[in-house]
Each structure stands twice: as C-alpha cells, then as structure tokens.
A and B are shown apart, each in its own frame.
Chain A
C-alpha cells in the first residue's frame, strides 16, 4: 500500500503548565514583548466578555467570541508592520485592536453599525469577513498589488479550520505558490466549525499540509503558546517581505465559547472536551511563565485588570452614546456619486421617516 508521507513540523516552547519544553529563543530574554502579549490578551478577553454581556442584555447583536484564541491574533497583531496588511476573520479582536481598531469600533461593528469598519486608523486592513474563506482571494490580490509595485510588505490572512474546506481558500493557496506571493495564511484550528468537528472537515492529519500541494512551506504551532506563535509568524512574515513567498501556519487552539452568542455548544460538544481544553488556554499559560520568571506578580495583575476594565467601560459608554447614523448614510456610500434614481429613493426614505416616532433616532 502506498501511504501518503508528509512532514509538517509542530512548534511548541511552553507546555500546558507554562514550563519550557525546549530552549527558548533569545528574544524572550527581554520580557517586554511577552509582557505586551500578556497585557493584550487580557485586554482582549475583557473586551470579549463585555461583548457577550452586552449581547445578553440586548445592547448588542450576535457576537462570535474569541475566547481561547487570543494568542494567535495577539501575536500577529504585534508582528505586522505599519504597511503590512491584515485580512482578518471574525475572531481576530486582539489583532484588530493593535491594528488601529478601537474597542468601540468592535462594539459598533457587532452592534450593527457600519461605522465600526470606517475609522481611518484601520488604514488598508480589511474589515471582518463574514462569508467564510472569501477573504483569502482578497488577501492574494493585495499581495499581488504589493508584488506589482515591488513593495516589501506582507499580507496576513486569517481563517478558521472550516474555512480550509472552501475552494476560495485552496485557490488562494494555489496562487500564492504559483506567483510567490508575499503572504502568510493562518488557520485558527479551534477544532469546531459551529457543530462540525475538525475530523469531518478534512481527512488529512493536518490542515497545514494543504500548503504542501501548493508548494508552500507549512507548519503547525501550538496556538496557545505565544512564543511558538511568535517564532512561526515572525519567520513567515520576514520570508514573505523579502520575496520568498507564502507560508501556511496552522495554529492549534480551541474554541472555549459557543460558536456565537446565538449558539448552544452543549447540544453537540462533550463537556469533558471543553474541560480539558481549559487546561491549555493561552492566558493562564503565559501568566504562569511570567510569574515563575519574576516578571509578574499579584499587584501587577490587579492593576492590569483594573486598567482593562476601565478602558472597556469607557469604550462601552462611547459605543452606547454613539448616535444612530443619519438615514442618508444608508444611501451615500454605494457609489462615488449617487445615481439620480437612488437619490430619489433617499428622499423617499427621509420623508417616510419624518412620519415615524422620533424615539427610533435616539441612541441604542
């Protein structure tokens, strides 16, 4: 029998308890980056939990939590340079917060307001992509633009494990191989696509190996280990920026939350599996390492939690106090210039609304 032989390296530095299982890279000797990662993950979790609370109290719509996946997005958010481009998926709050999105933008977007994706500080990054995997093509296009213009930057495209089953993902991988595009594909393998487990998505032992068929280097990393993630992503980004082409990184994580606030994972997911996954989550793991290496203590932890809560509270207030958009904005952004027919529909909408209760125009 011919058995498929592929080798996909697996990268990990810290075990579940935060103890090194391999000599740590030199950059970890200075704890600044790791402290930044820790603070960013903690902030992201507070942002995330508040989003869920807002949804539960009717102040926000359906929200997909990133709980358990903070490390991946935190690390690439830090490693991406100013002129690199992020093409995220919908669980990338930690990365987005480092790329020019404000916390209130996150709440606005998930609160059903287009202006969450509008802040100029988001530069050329793409907004959240809801139709699964379709962002992979955009990322390849951005990379193509960089190639045409001889820009030494990279595009990072993030997606879930389910997304790797779509043609869009595979087509983009293929192109990245053919044209040697400056890209990094990050698969957040959180083991589930709503209720569909990883093993029902793909018969291959790893998702990273989809890159092999496209001629791309690929690696699996422990997605709860910021050091491993930093190593893999940093190398892949440098590789891309200096013209050596794309890399596929499969980050092994776990979706600690329901799929979204509209989902109930107890219908399909064994509670024991969830319990085991909690033992591996990224924040506790890094915290333990920082403690053990005297970079962290209870006082700092308390201060950080207080700062994060205050920041988030302020953002919630800004979000809740943001007035609704004027109705005209629903019409004004479809074309550079509004066509006459649409202009008259806009008039129609404006006059229709003058007849409606003024209450609808107030804040949420």
Chain B
C-alpha cells in the first residue's frame, strides 16, 4: 500500500487505476485521455495498462461522449467520461439532462445509468476564455443527477471510487486550480468516501464557513487568520452538492448561529442560495446574523488578466466572517 504523498490530480489517476484494475466493467473515455493521458494527466498510463478497448480516445464530440456513456452504462458498464474543461460540458447537457438523469425513472428501474462524468472546473489558472467556469448549479438543479466536487487528494480518491460504484449518474467536478496545490498521503486501498456527506474540516463554535471546490483552500487560510485573532470558525467542505447533506450544515449553524457560504460561481440562483434558504428556514431560531453569501459576481468570468478581481481571497473571507460575527 503506497503512502506516497500525491496531488489531487494524481489521486484521481490513482482511483481510476484502482477501479479499472478491480472491475472490468470500468471504462474510460474522452478527448485526449489515451496516449496523452488527458490534458491535465488525470488518465496517465491507463491506456498502456488497460488497452485501447477500455481507454478510448473519442472523436471531438461532447454530445457523443455523453450519449455513448449512457448507452454503455445501460448495458452494465461503468463509463468514466472526461470532459476536457467544464466550459465544454454544455453540448453534453442534453444527454445528461434528458437521458442520463431520467433513465431509471423512465423505465422504472429496468435500465439505469451508472456513469461518471468528470470535468475540471474553476478559474485562477490564467487560461483562455471558456476554461474557467463554475457552473455546478446548472447540474445540481437537475433531478436524477448527483454532483460531487472533491477538494483534497484524499477526498478526490475516495469520492471518485464512490462515484464510479454509484448506481446513478455522477458529475464529478475537479477544482483544477488546486489540482497540484497540496500533496497528501493517499493509501491505494480502494476505500470509498461517502457521497452525500459534508466533511467538517475544522471544528469551531463561533461561525460556520460553508464552501466547496477550490475555495476550500482560501477558506482554510481564512480559518487560520481568524484563529490568530481568537475566532474559532467551523469549516465545512460540502463536497457533494447534490444530494446535499443539510444535516451537517444545520447542526453546525445551530451551534454557531452564524453562517457564511463561500463559492466561486456567480451568486444568483447558485448553490449558495439553496443552502442559505435551507439554513434560514430550518435553523431560523438559532441564527444570530443573516446568512451571508460570499461568491463570484453575476458576470461572465473575466478573461484572465482581470480574473483576480472576480476570485475570492482569504482576506475577503475573513472580512465577511468578521462582519457576520459583528452583526447585532
């Protein structure tokens, strides 16, 4: 069992190797996933190890990638499709929304869709336009889809294994800004982490900071800064956007009475709004301040020369936390 320290993207790769080794039904497909090992190297060495039949470089066609994944999944395979960037996932939406999400319901369980669609998402890597979006809310809105967003190497490994073995379609969104930000020992033991469960990364009684994806990094930095000032924040990585584990969030907020939700995606109609609505209605009596959303603006992600004006910093999080704490 390897105790080597690896990055988030290496953990994705390790999970794919593990799954393909232990389950012949797992297949990988997408653009440049074969010889090139994926443009972010998430699928490195899979083609060499498992061959062209199970590791498929498809023609350039996202609708097709989603469509054939649904077809294969209906026959009991477990396709793991890579969409090169979240900005190019839209062509796959018709298939995911009109078919993947509905197959079980339409056939009353006769046919199912145990597929995974992986895509790197988010800004901050100085990429060209359409390479920096965070549109998780569009997918989370769809009944029948699950949406998972890991934010550490260990969670990437455990959650991807769970996603592959999940009986339903899972959109697995990888925060590429932190693909190589930290290294952790990730034992290659095939242990899944639960989908549909938040992870409490730091415990504290003063305020609840709820976040996911790459923003976990800045939120943990903010936690550190707050701690130095004597403020104990609880940090929750939502990890699964859909189905949402409100229990963990509500339990925390009923202790702290204060909640800041932090996400990179645009504010309006986002996942933050969903969480805020649930907190406001279910923890109303515990709240000592309005639930605060600290998010991207409702604008197209700026090209990268100005993207730092869009992205959140730990300083913004500290400030929002303090304002929420100071609320009388």
Contacts and interface: CB of A to CB of B under 8 A. Distances in A.
A348 B91 CA distance: 34
B61 A196 contact: no
A193 interface: yes
B31 A341 contact: no
Nearest to A111: B305
A166 B60 contact: yes
B60 A193 contact: yes
Interface string B159-176: 000000000000000000
A182 interface: no
Contacts of B130: 130-131
Nearest to B36: A195
Interface string B294-317: 000111101111111110000010
Nearest to A327: B309
Given A62-B126, A110-B128, A353 B309 contact: yes
Contact of B57 (A62, A111, A200): A200
B35 A131 contact: no
Given A114-B303, A162-B60, A61 B32 contact: no
A349 to B, nearest CB: 6
B243 interface: no
Q: Is the interface of B mostly helix, strand, loop or mixed?
A: loop
Interface in B81-97: 87-88, 90-91
A313 interface: no
A194 B87 contact: no
A201 B316 CA distance: 46
B138 interface: no
A348 B292 CA distance: 14
Contacts of A360: 308
A62 B34 CA distance: 22
B91 A166 contact: yes
Contact of B297 (A110, A131, A132, A349): A349
Given A330-B310, A331-B299, A352 B39 contact: no
B61 A194 contact: no
B307 A112 contact: yes
Contacts of B62: 166
**7 closest A-B pairs by CB:** A195-B36, A112-B304, A165-B59, A112-B305, A162-B60, A112-B303, A130-B130
14 contacts: A62-B127, A131-B91, A162-B59, A166-B63, A168-B91, A195-B34, A263-B39, A330-B297, A330-B299, A330-B310, A341-B298, A345-B267, A348-B297, A352-B316
